[in-house]
Amino acid sequence: MFTMLNANPLQDAIDNAPEGSIIKLPAGVYKGNININKPLTIIGKEKGVVIDGEGSGTVITIKGSFVTLKNLKIIGSGDRHENLDAGIKIADGKHCEISNCSIEDCLFGIDMQMINNSIISDNNITSKRVDLGLRGDGLRLWYSNDNIVRRNSLIKSRDMVVWYSHGNEIINNYGRDNRYSLHFMYAGKNLIKDNYYELNSVGIFFMYSQDSTAIGNVIKSSLGATGMGIGLKDVSNFTIKDNTILYNAQGIYIDRSPFEPDTHNYITGNKVLYNSEALHFHSLSENNIIRDNIIMGNIEDIVNDSRGSKTNQNEIAQNYWDKYEGFDRDNNNIGDTPHKVYQYADQLWVYNPDVKFFYASPVISLLNFLAKLAPFTQPLFLLEDKEPKVKIKG
């Protein structure tokens, strides 16, 4: 064990430490960028251990395996996006750990490139105090597989991204005041569980991905006219289960999903509550299995903005719809008649976003009522739930 007991330059201590050493830092400010390229552990043995990059480059750069950072406060990266100036940049390794660290005033938080079988846990990450579009990502996984990302807090960063990365577990994290709390692209077999995301532009967005599960997450108050809870674009064999999606402009957004032939997406057991739009379909989207969800308090339950998404060719059954107007005479909690949803030509706001400004006004409500009462054109059939639930149990 190598123990640093004084304020000698930290880089010198790292360079002089044998492989596998544990460097225990007392409270103090350690200035300057540091580089680690061998198995090593750095631990803040008490509160107040600060590593300050002094506004230049990446504060801590790690290359290799078996490196651990714990109980550190990391501040003051540079502000160059093209260099990915970060609090911690870690590459080309496995079996690393970053835990119980606070990363502040760093453009990017933790940048992982080709890192496998590692743990990122219990960290608090915030970007620089700039406009949202000028911030860096709080956490980036790039070609990084089979990692555990848990109990981290990302506040006022840009995105957390998982690109070209597979088999990761993303569990019990918190995100607020970001753009995308989670953004996946070309990623497969990831588990996204029990995360809590609020006041972001988008909660979770999946693109060009497959074979993943999002379960037990809470996504609320996604901001803006197109604020989104969960988005699916060109994804296949996904399970979206037992999530709570509320107070968003769009609850679940579905675009050309499932993408691969003869596959399904399973959207089951979710609570989609008090959104402007519960389910928004864009482009061709068929063969989704949408069952046992609670769809309640939304302004519109179904929106089809492209006229070609074939929403009626999804398997939709045994959902609770608060807009269902049928009866349950045999008390089996299944409506006696199907729940059918139509789109009327009078609903101009679907294709003209400018009309959305007036959507909740009395005049639009009256027009929608008259359209349903006596439509002047044949309405577009969107979907049918043949076995709608009448009551919410449990």
69/133 same-domain check? yes
Q: Whole-angstrom Cα distance, residue 93 to residue 265?
A: 34
Q: Whole-angstrom Cα distance, residue 244 to residue 221?
A: 11
pLDDT, residue 5, reads: 42
Residue 371 located in a structural domain = no
Choosing from 178, 212, 247, the residue where a domain stops is 178
Q: How many domains does the chain have?
A: 2
26/165 same-domain check? yes
Choosing from 132, 161, 178, the residue where a domain stops is 178
154/207 same-domain check? no
Parts of the chain with a pLDDT under 50: 1-8, 346
Backbone angles phi, psi at 122, to 5 degrees: 60, 35
Residue 363 located in a structural domain = no
pTM for the full model? 0.90
Q: Whole-angstrom Cα distance, residue 252 to residue 196?
A: 16
pLDDT, residue 364, reads: 58
pLDDT, residue 237, reads: 97
pLDDT tens, position by position, 124-145:
999 999 999 899 999 999 999 9
pLDDT, residue 192, reads: 98
Choosing from 120, 149, 178, the residue where a domain stops is 178
Question: At 67, which CATH number?
Answer: 2.160.20.10
325/383 same-domain check? yes
Residue 117 located in a structural domain = yes
pLDDT, residue 312, reads: 81
143/197 same-domain check? no
> Which residue do the tokens 């674009």 mark?
233
Contacts with 378 (C-beta within 8 Å, 6 or more apart), sequence order:
none
Residue 42 in contact with residue 72, Cβ under 8 Å?
yes
Residue 374 located in a structural domain = no
Please calculate the CA angle 13-16-22 and round it to the nearest 5 degrees.
65
Residue 256 located in a structural domain = yes
pLDDT, residue 2, reads: 40
99/140 same-domain check? yes
DSSP letters, 280-299, are EEESS---EEEES-EEES-S
21/78 same-domain check? yes
CA-closest candidate to residue 290, choices 194, 389, 385, 193: 385
Residue 279 located in a structural domain = yes
Residue 3 located in a structural domain = yes
142/28 same-domain check? yes
Residue 373 located in a structural domain = no
Two structure tokens written together for 201: 């532009």
pLDDT, residue 284, reads: 83
9/33 same-domain check? yes
17/155 same-domain check? yes
pLDDT tens, position by position, 260-314:
989 999 999 999 999 999 999 988 888 999 999 999 999 889 988 876 667 888 9
Q: Which domain holds residue 322?
A: 186-344+379-394
102/2 same-domain check? yes
80/215 same-domain check? no
